[in-house]
Amino acid sequence: MGKRREGREATLQLLFHWDLNVQQALSGTELDLFWDFRPAIPAVRAFATKLLNGVIARQTTIDEKIRKYTANYELRRISAVDRNILRMAIYEMLYADDVPPIVAINEAIDIAKKFGTEESGKFVNGVLDRVKLDLNRPLRTASNPAD
């Protein structure tokens, strides 16, 4: 598994915990305990932490996008796994210039298939396909490639 995939999966687990704990900020102790339970190399930890903090910082804007494209659902009716995969992918699509939006979508679909229900991949794909229509950047290339 690649470093970024591993980081995204760790971020999903952290977001799931954050989401189900009334979205209180994760303390340094909680993060340390998580990384003790799920060891990872520093690059994975750094990527996951950056992604986690980005999603949390922009949660309101990201959740508005989810609501816009899931008009028949209340945000809380979407499974916690799917909801947080969507948050993570939408964050990357909107704010992570080093990640091509298509990569964010494909990663989200694969993670949804692994951690979600039988229908999660299709659901996540459908929502993210709509979000990508709002983007004003190339879909297949990074705007600011990572080192």
Show me where the domains of the chain are located. 3-132
- For the chain, percent of residues with pLDDT exceeding 90: 76
Whether 66 has a pLDDT exceeding 60, the answer reads: yes
Whether 16 has a pLDDT exceeding 50, the answer reads: yes
Largest CA distance in the chain: 41
The Cα-based distances of 28 to 4, 13, 32, 56 in angstroms read 22, 16, 6, 15
Q: Which residue has the higher pLDDT, 84 or 146?
A: 84
Give the confidence band of 29 by pLDDT, cuts at 50, 70, 90: confident
The Cα-based distances of 99 to 35, 133, 141 in angstroms read 24, 16, 7
Mean pLDDT to the nearest integer, 23-48: 89
Burial of 39 (0-12, 13-18, 19+ CB in 10 A): exposed
pLDDT given at position 1: 66
pLDDT given at position 36: 94
Q: Which residue has the higher pLDDT, 30 or 140?
A: 30
Let me know: does 139 contact 98? Beta carbons within 8 Å.
no
pLDDT given at position 147: 47
Element (H, E) at 77: none
Whether 124 has a pLDDT exceeding 70, the answer reads: yes
pLDDT digits (tens, 9 = 90+) for 72-115: 788 989 999 999 999 999 999 999 999 999 999 999 999 999 99
Q: What would be the CATH architecture of the domain defined by 3-132? A: Orthogonal Bundle (1.10)
Written as six digits, the tokens of 21 are 């704990």
Q: What is the mean pLDDT of the chain?
A: 91
pLDDT given at position 107: 98
